[in-house]
Amino acid sequence: MKGIILAGGTGTRLLPLTAVLVKQLLPVYDRPMIFYPLNTLIKAGIRDILIIVPPEYSGSYLNLLGSMFSGRGINISFVVQKRPGGLPEAFILGEDFLDGGASTLILGDNIFEDDFTDAIGSFTGGGRIFAKEVPDPERYGVVEFENGTGKVLSIEEKPSVPKSRFAIPGIYVYDGRASEIARGLSRSERGELEIVDMHRAYLDRGELDVRSISGAYFDAGTHDSLLEASVYVKEKGFGSRFHPIVNDAISEFDAEYKRLVSLQK
């Protein structure tokens, strides 16, 4: 199992903040946003991770994460996405990295309290996505279940009249066919590949599994949700529950940075 973090995009909902800094490097309380999806993958046992970044901020990601996890058993690679092309494009850009294996794709602005170790570790094939009951499902992809059975009936992307309150958050587990399936998708009217079509491709094959999550979840792509996420992780001591590999890497990075700054004085 390999991991992909999609950390591109324009972040227009967070302007003017994103006029000077890419969204996934904005702070969520005491650390850049990118560390939250990174921690989710590492905590779930994934050690090979590809981060897809925009060209104008590739140096910023490299400066922060390029060597932070050296010697800790975490292998981080980078691929540049020249322009947003939709979430499934991550499987095309990462095709060589995946080398026909299974992968977990997580969005760089999604913050989860749930531990996905079992959900990812028990994955054997097909597709596995997640559902979270939310008050505003029209902002998300929405999954409709059959009453009493839990069978998935339909999946819609940002419907004006949602058929349920179960949103599909930004973490998806797919088998080694993901890159091939992504290549076969048609682009939508906005010129992008749509993740809902990936879900439907596996659903049509009868190979899509949906698991519900109950912990806090933030799509930190708006000013309000970014603030809510920051307040929550502060109040709940979220950072202290990060995987030791991540917290140790951050602490060492901080100490080295302070040392270098002191030498320049």
Average pLDDT (47-73) is 93
Q: Is the pLDDT reported for residue 100 higher than 80?
A: yes
Residue 155 has pLDDT above 70, yes or no: yes
Return the SS3 of 86. Answer: coil
Name the pTM for this structure: 0.94
Tell me the per-residue pLDDT of 110-145, one tens digit each, with 9 for 90 and over.
999 999 999 999 999 999 999 999 988 998 889 998
Beta-bridge mates of residue 201: none
- Among 28-32, 47-51, 143-147, which is the least confidently predicted range? 143-147
Give the model's confidence band at 148: pLDDT under 50 very low, under 70 low, under 90 confident, else very high. Answer: low
pLDDT category at 200 given cuts 50, 70, 90 is: very high
Dihedral angle over CA of 184, 167, 210, 198, nearest 10: 0
| 217 or 84, higher pLDDT | 217
Answer yes or no: is pLDDT of 45 > 90: yes
CA dihedral over 193, 82, 14, 234, signed as positive or negative: positive
- With a CB cutoff of 8 Å and minimum separation 6, the contacts of 231 are 29
Identify the structural domains of the chain with CATH numbers, from first to last.
2-127+170-264 (3.90.550.10)
| Distances, alpha carbon 170 to alpha carbons 133, 158, 256, in Å | 14, 13, 33
